[in-house]
Amino acid sequence: MGSATTHALAAAREALGSAGSSVGLKTAEELFAVGHVLGGSAQLRATVSDPSSDDAAKADIVRRVFGGKVSDQTLSILTTLVSQRWSSQKDLLAGIEELGVRAIASSAPVTVSLDAELFAVAQAVASNSELELALRSKLATATAKAELVEKILSGTASEQTVALVRQLVVQPRGRSIREALATTAAIVADQAGLSIATVTSAQPLGEAQLERLRVGLSRQYGRDLRFNQVVDPALIGGLRVQVGDDVIDSSVATRINDVRLQLAG
């Protein structure tokens, strides 16, 4: 991520936060729709993301194209977005999507754990190659993939999670569905001031073990963590913990493999 995008995202997040509690699923859906339009129009995308263009002129283009099609609140957020300097057109699209994700996360009912639901979807995709292929197929239309998401998740996941997964399959932006789900879950957790730790072990961990791990890692990362548990008997013993790009691997399988490499050398 370039420095320009870092500053742009900070301003965009502030604009979203300033909108207050009125931001919700509708705002997110409108932002996703705008991102889809920009993603499909190279000319419009280039125009509103051109760093050499006048900010007021770009904001005026956004108002003329999307005015009356989205709420005044969403339009205000969009004008803030295009008034920023982005490192690339792709970063602008990612920024629009991130704000949509954060809008959903901030307005979801307290009874809904979006990151847990997204993790469940990711696990289902990882265990079903046919489903993964269907969701990322370039041959299927966006409408067909959106309908598949509705069919699979309706009644088993919240409407917020359905909206998020639908966005990821309709506008993948070059990502695999697994990568997109992981990124989205991390944004959802960050909106709540948390980070996600994926803990892989040969056997399920007990509550006491998880709590000790949570306390230690929270101290190390300076924020609370939400845990996702994965059981993989191939590890034999020990743990593999991933927080963002950081991986802590103390599994027996990895140790055995390290010894084999040393002996081979």
- pLDDT tens for each residue of 102-112: 999 998 998 99
37 and 96 share one domain: yes
Angstrom distance (rounded) from CA 172 to CA 187? 16
Angstrom distance (rounded) from CA 96 to CA 37? 11
21 and 97 share one domain: yes
34 and 90 share one domain: yes
Domain count for the chain: 3
Percent of the chain residues past pLDDT 90, beyond the cut = 73
For the full predicted model, state whether its pTM sits above 0.75. yes
216 and 236 share one domain: yes
Among 126, 133, 38, 118, smallest CA distance to 82 is for 38
83 and 120 share one domain: no
Q: Judge whether residue 34 has pLDDT over 90.
A: yes
12 and 97 share one domain: yes
Which residue is it, tokens 């995308």?
A: 45
**Residue 164, pLDDT score:** 97
The 3-state DSSP class for residue 23 equals coil
Angstrom distance (rounded) from CA 173 to CA 94? 8
Confidence at 261, pLDDT banded by 50, 70, 90: low
**Residue 252, pLDDT score:** 74
* Domain with 256 in it: 195-264
Whole-number CA gyration radius for the chain: 21
Per-residue pLDDT tens over the stretch 44-80? 999 999 988 898 999 999 999 999 999 999 999 999 9
Distances, alpha carbon 17 to alpha carbons 55, 81, 105, 246, in Å: 21, 13, 12, 29
121 and 80 share one domain: no
188: Cβ contacts below 8 Å, ≥ 6 apart: 101, 104, 105, 114, 115, 118, 164
Enter the tokens of residue 166. Answer: 């639908």
Q: Check if the beta carbon of residue 160 is closer than 8 Å to that of residue 114.
A: yes
Angstrom distance (rounded) from CA 102 to CA 192? 9
10 and 92 share one domain: yes
Last residue of a domain, one of 64, 89, 107: 107
68 and 148 share one domain: no
94 and 129 share one domain: no
Task: List beta partners, residue 70.
Answer: 67
53 and 14 share one domain: yes
- What CATH number is attached to the domain comprising 212? 3.40.30
**Residue 135, pLDDT score:** 93
**Residue 129, pLDDT score:** 94
- Rounded (5°) CA angle 208-210-211: 65
Per-residue pLDDT tens over the stretch 75-91? 999 999 999 999 999 99
Q: What is the dihedral of CA 202, 205, 210, 216, to 10 degrees?
A: -40
Q: Check if the beta carbon of residue 237 is closer than 8 Å to that of residue 256.
A: no
**Residue 1, pLDDT score:** 66
184 and 218 share one domain: no
111: Cβ contacts below 8 Å, ≥ 6 apart: none
Pairing state between β 195-201 and 239-243:
antiparallel
